[in-house]
């Protein structure tokens, strides 16, 4: 019996499980604004998000899998079971933090939970962490992407107000409700391009460490199918809890502001995935977009206390996921000293 293959398959299943939790934790962010403005019914919005997450995962794969390659470059895991233990611990840290924040209804970043898990496990395992990659591809985008979303959504909303200021408000609202169907799908597709690739990268790291693939190979299509399917199913199953926070608690959105937030956020996701190849957080980008669209109306229209709670979750994600992953790695090493 090939125990190496069986254990590898089990860790791959864990990785797909993380992608599932990513779906119900993060992907609802893509369509929360459309539900908050009543442009789409929740069931319809979740269905569209699931479909376009799947489509986006394949688009990201066909256009080079840049985000997946960035995840792979954070660390080079040791070969054999030591590499397997590192990947399993990283996934444990990410899944643990995802479940904690999902239970609390906080839209934290699955992206940074996964990267924090990889870094925490690598540090404890004594593996080199490519801190230059972490800084350039993780920290900088993490800090800048929400503010870029905020500023661009503010500017787009200001332009929309100028263009439609003399139009019938009822007709304008109706038109932007229809437009939000498109922007929500675009946002969900951007999420698939970003987040499904991250799990693809981790699975590929595992296969390389176990000798089932080489680092120079192309991503196997079965990994793309598995990750795209898992994130889509997760979206359809459990997106409502986080969707309530983003869709209603930060600001009372109208259709025009929802359209502005979604359109800008989709653009940021596409740009970072295809140009920068940086694994940014859909949660952070859309939150920044929502706040920017709200600030255009007036500063006190945004419930800043909710934003502060979200900010705390963002700041804690990398170290918390890293700490959980480190503990999981130590537990694995205790139970299986050969690692």
Strand, helix or coil at 75? strand
What pLDDT score does 115 carry?
A: 93
DSSP 123-157: HHHTPPB-HHHHIIIIIHHHHHHHHHHHHHHHHHH
Q: Please report, in angstroms and rounded to a whole number, the separation of the first and last CA atoms in the chain.
A: 20
Residues of the chain with pLDDT under 50: 247
Model confidence pLDDT, tens digit, residues 18-38? 888 888 766 566 677 777 777
What pLDDT score does 247 carry?
A: 47
* Total domain count, the chain: 1
DSSP 110-127: HHHHHHHHHHHHHHHHTP
- Dihedral sign (CA 198, 273, 324, 249): negative
Residue 177 contacts residue 254 (beta carbons within 8 Å)? no
Strand, helix or coil at 308? helix
| Owning domain of residue 53 | 3-335
Dihedral, 43, 47, 48, 51 alpha carbons, nearest 10:
170
Give residues with Cβ within 8 angstroms of 199, minimum separation 6. 15, 16, 18, 19, 22, 114, 227, 230, 231
DSSP 192-210: IIIIIHHHHHHHHHHHHHT
Give residues with Cβ within 8 angstroms of 280, minimum separation 6. 111, 141, 142, 145, 194, 268, 269, 272, 273
**CA gap 9, 13 in Å, rounded:** 6
Instruction: Tell me the CB-side half-sphere exposure of residue 19, using CA atoms within 13 A.
Output: 33
Could you say which DSSP state residue 247 is in? I
Model confidence pLDDT, tens digit, residues 34-62? 777 778 887 788 788 889 989 999 999 99
Could you say which DSSP state residue 302 is in? S
């Amino acid at each position: 019996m090939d125990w190496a293959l069986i254990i590898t398959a089990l860790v791959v299943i864990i990785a797909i499980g993380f992608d599932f939790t990513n779906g119900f934790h993060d992907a609802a962010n893509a369509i929360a604004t459309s539900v908050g403005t009543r442009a789409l019914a929740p069931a319809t919005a979740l269905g569209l998000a699931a479909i376009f997450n799947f489509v986006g995962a394949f688009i990201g794969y066909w256009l080079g899998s840049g985000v997946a390659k960035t995840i792979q470059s954070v660390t080079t895991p040791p070969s054999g079971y030591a590499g397997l233990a590192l990947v399993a611990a990283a996934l444990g840290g990410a899944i643990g933090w995802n479940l904690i924040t999902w239970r609390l209804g906080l839209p934290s970043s699955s992206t940074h939970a996964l990267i924090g898990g990889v870094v925490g496990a690598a540090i404890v395992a004594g593996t080199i962490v490519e801190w230059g990659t972490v800084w350039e591809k993780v920290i900088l985008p993490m800090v800048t992407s929400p503010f870029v979303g905020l500023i661009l959504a503010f500017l787009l909303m200001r332009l929309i107000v100028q263009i439609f200021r003399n139009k019938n408000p009822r007709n304008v609202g109706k038109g932007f409700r229809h437009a939000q169907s498109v922007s929500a799908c675009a946002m969900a597709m951007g999420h698939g391009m970003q987040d499904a690739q991250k799990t693809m990268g981790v699975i590929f790291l595992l296969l390389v460490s176990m000798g089932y693939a080489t680092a120079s190979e192309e991503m196997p299509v079965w990994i793309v199918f598995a990750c795209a399917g898992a994130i889509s199913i997760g979206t359809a199953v459990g997106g409502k809890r986080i969707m309530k926070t983003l869709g209603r608690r930060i600001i009372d959105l109208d259709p025009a502001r929802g359209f502005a937030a979604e359109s800008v956020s989709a653009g940021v996701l596409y740009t970072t995935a295809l140009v920068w190849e940086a694994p940014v957080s859909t949660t952070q980008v859309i939150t920044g977009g929502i706040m920017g669209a709200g600030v255009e109306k007036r500063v006190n229209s945004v419930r800043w206390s909710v934003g502060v709670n979200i900010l705390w979750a963002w700041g804690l994600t990398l170290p918390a996921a890293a700490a959980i992953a480190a503990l999981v790695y130590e537990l694995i090493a205790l139970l299986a000293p050969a690692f």
